[in-house]
Structure formats: C-alpha cells, structure tokens
Structure 1
Amino acid sequence: MAVIFELAVQGAQMFSVLLLAPLLIGFVRKVKARLVRRQGPSVIQP
C-alpha cells in the first residue's frame, strides 16, 4: 500500500514540475525586464 502511495506522490510531483516549469521561465523573464526598467512580457506568454 505504501508503494502505491509513493508512486502516486512521485507522479504528482512530476506532473507539477511539468506545469510549473513554463511559469518559472516567464517569471524570470518578467524579473529581468523589470531590472532594466521595462514592463516585460506576460508570465504565461511563450
């Protein structure tokens, strides 16, 4: 039973990383633009 739970948790972590990676890239681009006093692209813009 514990093995199934651990596999489910690992699957959820992998899924969340896949979803959050593009948002992290967008956030970094936004911060870089703010550092040079520009508005920058939207966080969800590819």
Structure 2
Amino acid sequence: MGWSINRSYLRTKNTTKYGIGIVSRATAVFSTVWRNDYFLLLFLYGTSI
C-alpha cells in the first residue's frame, strides 16, 4: 500500500520536474528570440531612417 503510493509520488515529482524544465527552457528560448527580434527591429528601424 505505502510502497505504491511512494512510487506514484516519485513519478509525479519527476513529471513535475520534467514539466518545469520544459517550461523554463521554453521561456529562456522565447526570451532570447524576443530579445534578438527586438534588437533586429531596432537595427532595421535605425538603418531605415
């Protein structure tokens, strides 16, 4: 009884950790892409003037 609960708890903990890792990686990629796009837009805006 307790062993199966412990196993499912560990599985949930690992899934949560995996999900948090995916979210943080996606956030980092998104912020990097957004920053690059922002600088690219500034560059294009500066060269168009």
TM-score by length of 1: 0.50
Pick the structure with greater CA Rg. 2
Q: Which has the higher helix share?
A: 2
